[in-house]
Amino acid sequence: MKFGIAVPNFGAYAKREQILEISALAEELRYDSLWVSDHVVIPASHKVFGDTFHDPLVTLTYIAAHTDRIELGTSVIILPYRNPLVLAKMVSTLDTLSQGRVVLGIGTGWLEDEFDALGVNFKERGKVTDEYIEILKELWTSENPEYKGDYLEFSNIKFLPKPERKPYPPIWVGGESAGAMKRAVKYGDGWHPVGLTPGAFREMAEYLKSLLPAEKRDGFSLSLRRNIEINDVRELSADDTLRGGREKITKGIREYGDAGVTHLVLYILAGDYKGVLNTLRVFAEEIRPGFE
């Protein structure tokens, strides 16, 4: 199993020095990947995210310039918000300059007020997402890209640079709905849900794997983003699989592995910033060795 860290590009620790320190420490401790989240605007009804929310691709570009090895992912970028030609250019540029380290997690989005603010049709987000994925792949792989869809069409163009990673950066589709899993199977190289217990993940992953064509089964990633809190004091619910003492967390990771998770992205919960750094070290030095 691979392990990634969700970098706080929003909220209390979304500051230059802290983003850099977390990223550098994660690479030093040999984590496999770093991940950032995505919102363009925050409606007043959802202030839980805090006032600051850095752009995911700009943040990853900044991190890429200060790291050498670790993979760089979006968890997840809301595809209908962005012109796919512009997004394809940004992602392929980042992948080229980072020497092939990008994993593009994508989703359809869920916050209707944000869609309204951006002038994007919320009800058609699934259809838009599918078309935009097709456009990304066309731009990244075709010498003379052309496309005609319900929302965009183009021809007689060149698109460079192509991504460093071939044929393109892995596309992981987020979401837990049947539609999201079918989208992952049809268009993706992996599935990236959030917050599932081991039992729920196993059940959904078995459904997804039943849809996978034979040629995709070997390289298809089954990832999960999950909160982690190393806490030997407070009693937490059994459903908080990775929140509690070291033994509970170790057992939970083992259960996720048995359920099929191949890449676990950890969002660290801690009382303060020092606790975030301490969690990074404790997990890498005391928990992860049992899974290598």
pLDDT of residue 42: 87
Domain spanning 2-291 has what CATH number? 3.20.20.30
What does pLDDT average to over the chain? Answer: 96
Compute the average pLDDT of residues 286-290. Answer: 95
* 184, pLDDT greater than 90: yes
Percent of the residues in the chain that have a pLDDT greater than 90, as a whole number:
91
Closest-CA residue to 107 (of 32, 187, 197): 187
Average pLDDT over residues 237-253: 94
pLDDT of residue 78: 98
What pLDDT, in 10s, does the model give residues 202-233? 999 999 999 999 999 899 999 999 999 999 87
> Rounded mean pLDDT of 101-119?
97
- Cβ neighbors of 206 (< 8 A, separation 6 or more) are 260
Share of the chain above pLDDT 70, in %: 99
Is residue 181 within 8 A of residue 191, CB to CB? The reply is yes
Are the CB atoms for 75 and 174 separated by under 8 Å?
Answer: yes
Question: How many C-beta neighbours within 10 Å does residue 58 have?
Answer: 13
Q: What integer pLDDT is reported at residue 281 of this predicted model? A: 98
- Cα separation of 72 and 101, whole Å? 6
CA–CA separation, 235 and 218 (whole Å): 39
Q: Can you tell me the distance from the alpha carbon of 5 to that of 30, in angstroms, rounded to the nearest whole number?
A: 11
Position with higher pLDDT, 217 vs 272: 272
pTM for the predicted model, two decimal places: 0.96
Q: What is the pLDDT of residues 22-62, one digit of tens each?
A: 999 999 999 999 999 999 998 887 776 677 899 999 999 99
Per-residue pLDDT, averaged over 16-24, amounts to 98
For residues 196 and 175, give the distance between their C-alpha atoms in angstroms, rounded to a whole number.
11
Give the pLDDT score at 46: 75
* Per-residue pLDDT at 44: 84
Please tell me the predicted confidence (pLDDT) of residue 118: 96
Whether a cis peptide bond, with omega within 30° of 0, leads into 233 is no
Output the pLDDT for position 238: 83
Which neighbouring-strand residues pair with 71?
A: 33
Q: What is the mean pLDDT of residues 255-277?
A: 97
pLDDT digits over 124-170, tens only? 999 999 999 999 999 999 999 999 999 999 999 999 999 999 999 99
Q: Hey, where are the domains in the chain?
A: 2-291
| Cβ-proximal residues to 132 (8 Å cutoff; 6+ apart), any chain | 79, 80, 82, 84, 87, 151
State the pLDDT confidence band at 236, using cuts at 50, 70 and 90.
confident
Arithmetic mean of pLDDT, 3-24:
96
Give 292's pLDDT tier (boundaries 50, 70, 90): confident
Helix axes 246-259, 198-211, angle to 10 degrees: 20
Question: Which residue, 104, 140, 133, 132, is CA-closest to 221?
Answer: 104
Q: What is the 3-state secondary structure (H, E, C) of the chain?
A: CEEEEECCCECCCCCHHHHHHHHHHHHHCCCCEEEECCCCCCCHHHHHHCCCECCHHHHHHHHHCCCCCCEEEECCEEHHHCCHHHHHHHHHHHHHHCCCCEEEEEECCCCHHHHHHHCCCCCCHHHHHHHHHHHHHHHHHCCCCCEECCCCEECCCCCCCCCCCCCCCCEEEECCCHHHHHHHHHHCCEEECECCCHHHHHHHHHHHHHHCCHHHCCCCEEEEEEEEEECCCCCCCCCCCCEECHHHHHHHHHHHHHHCCCEEEEEECCCCHHHHHHHHHHHHHHHHHHHC
